[in-house]
Each structure stands twice: as structure tokens, then as C-alpha cells.
Structure 1
Amino acid sequence: MLVFRIAHKKYAKNLSVSGLSGRWNSNGKLVLYTSESVSLAFLENMIYRVGTGFNDDYKLMIIEIPEQNIEGIEIKKLSKNWRKIEHYDELQKMGDSWYDQQKRLVLRAPSSVIPEDYNLIINTTHIDFKKVKLIDILDYEPDERLEKLLKKYQ
């Protein structure tokens, strides 16, 4: 299965991670956030770089993961306001539990940007992480109209 990540060119050369906390992990959990589509990867990336603009500093990473090693989280099992930042603790506990159990390589979790779409979080300490492959790194510079639209509302 192919998944996608948009990252600064400095971090797009390999599958390294920082260990910083995210929606589905607390600090120290070495996970790699990816998305099931390029468009979702773009939206997830833009949330964190509003105002920095589009340029050739960002790359599209195409990553292959084994499909049979995925654990999923269903939206119906989440609290009503799970997308709000106040619920990070709840979601991090779920993600940390998945990470610590080491049963599955990948956690398929709904995106807070578009809940009908999913991010795939890869546990880089899992025994099967060696099966994850960085297939390609492509230039990624979205349509400039998107940048104009975003800057209009800053």
C-alpha cells in the first residue's frame, strides 16, 4: 500500500522521525505520520506552515507499507469533540497504547482536518519497520492560487 508525506527537503531523504508529540502520540514515541492520499498529506502539512508559503523546499515522499499490518481507529469510538486540541490527551493515550503494545506496525487514524479521510501512523520501532520502503521523493509545489487564498485570510 502506498502512503504519502510532504516534508521539508532536509527531512525527506529518509524515514527518520523526531519523537515529538502529535495528535496520536506523546513525546518520545518514534512515529512517522503519513496520509492515504497526496491531497490529505498536503492539507495536514499546510496546517503547520500557514504563512510560510509554497516553495521548492518541500518534497512529496511516496512510501510503501505492508497492508496486512494495520490497526484502525473508528470515529464512532472517539468522543464527540475528539478533533479539538483539548482532546489531545485522550488521543495520545490511544496512540501510545497501540505503540507500546507493538502488535501492529501502522495505526490508521481519522484526520482531524478531514475526518472521512485517514492518516497512517508508522511505528518506527516495530519489528516490521524494515518492510517500510521510501519509494520516491518528488518535487511538490502546489498551485499558487492556494497560497494566495491562504494569505488572504491570515
Structure 2
Amino acid sequence: MTVYRLAYHHYVTDKTGIGARLYGGRWNPKGVACLYTSAHISLALLEKFVHARGKEDVAGLMLLSIEIPDRGDLVYHVDESRMVDGWADNFDYSQWLGKQILTEGTFVAFSVPSAIVPAERNVIINPQAAHFKEVRFHKPVIFDIDARLSDRLV
């Protein structure tokens, strides 16, 4: 399984999940490390774009491709039909769910529906997982955003 991470050059090669651990996110509370990725480059961009406060937040990004071995025991696929109604607006719930999976340490990653495009998946990687060493990180490349998109940010 190939997943994609968009991040600034000084963060893109981080394999520890320090940013998520320090600040928390939709699928992890503060104190729990993880790496946020997406199943598609376009979804990774949408996830970055929706959190951008201005044009500078999408400038200078790097794209990192990550290979997770295609073994069923390494990735847990969260079933949206079993999630609570309104999960996309319930950070307490999504952080609780993510923390359960991340702290167990069994899975290298878990996939969840995107709150932006629920039919597509984000993949949260657990750097503390027992089999994390099987994950392969490719060399990051510069990711230029079309001005027609970035110019929409103030």
C-alpha cells in the first residue's frame, strides 16, 4: 500500500510522529505519536488546504511516498458503519478511537474515512508499532501547488 504525506521540508522526513504527539490531531490526542498520510496525493493536498490559514501554509511543501507492506495484519481498516454518527465533528470520539489503536501497537497503520471526502481514506501510521521497521520511506520531492488553488487563500 502506498500512502502520501505532504509536509514542510524540515518535517517531511520525521519518522517519530513528534508533531502529532506535541499538538494532537483528529485521530490522536496530545502525547500520542503518529504520522498522518492519505491514500491519494489529492486527498493529502485537500487535508493540507482545509487547515491552511493563508497562502504561506501551502508554500514550500514536500511530498513523501511511503510503502506499507500489503499484509492484512499490519493495517487496520476502521469500518465507518461502526463509527458513531457525527464522528467527523466529534474530536473526542475520533481521538479516543485513534488512541486505542495507536497505543495497542499491533498495527503499523490504520485507515479511516476522510472528514473532507468520506469515500476516501486517510492512513495513520504508528511509529511505535512492533513492525514499523517494515515501512519504507521514499525520498521526498518538492510539491508545487497550482496558483489557481493557492491564490484562493488569503
Q: TM-score, normalised by structure 2?
A: 0.89
Deviation, structure 1 residue 99: 1.3
Segments of structure 2 that go 5 or more residues without pairing to the other structure are none
The answer to whether residue 6 in structure 2 is matched with residue 6 in structure 1 is: yes
Deviation, structure 1 residue 80: 2.0
How far apart are the structure 1 equivalents of 2:97 and 2:16?
23
Aligned to 2:114: 111
Q: How many residues of Structure 1 are paired with residues of Structure 2 in the alignment?
A: 148
User: What is the percentage of aligned positions where both structures have the same residue?
Assistant: 29
Measured on the aligned residues, the alpha-carbon RMSD in Å equals: 1.4
How far apart are the structure 2 equivalents of 1:50 and 1:81?
25
Q: Secondary structure at the match of 1:116?
A: coil
AA matched with 1:50: R
**Deviates further, 70-79 or 28-37:** 70-79
Q: TM-score, normalised by structure 1?
A: 0.89
The answer to whether residue 87 in structure 2 is matched with residue 82 in structure 1 is: yes
Q: Secondary structure at the match of 1:98?
A: helix
AA matched with 2:81: K
Residue of structure 2 aligned with 1:139, choices 138, 142, 145: 142
AA matched with 1:97: Q
How far apart are the structure 2 equivalents of 1:133 and 1:4?
12
Aligned to 1:72: 77
Segments of structure 1 that go 5 or more residues without pairing to the other structure are none
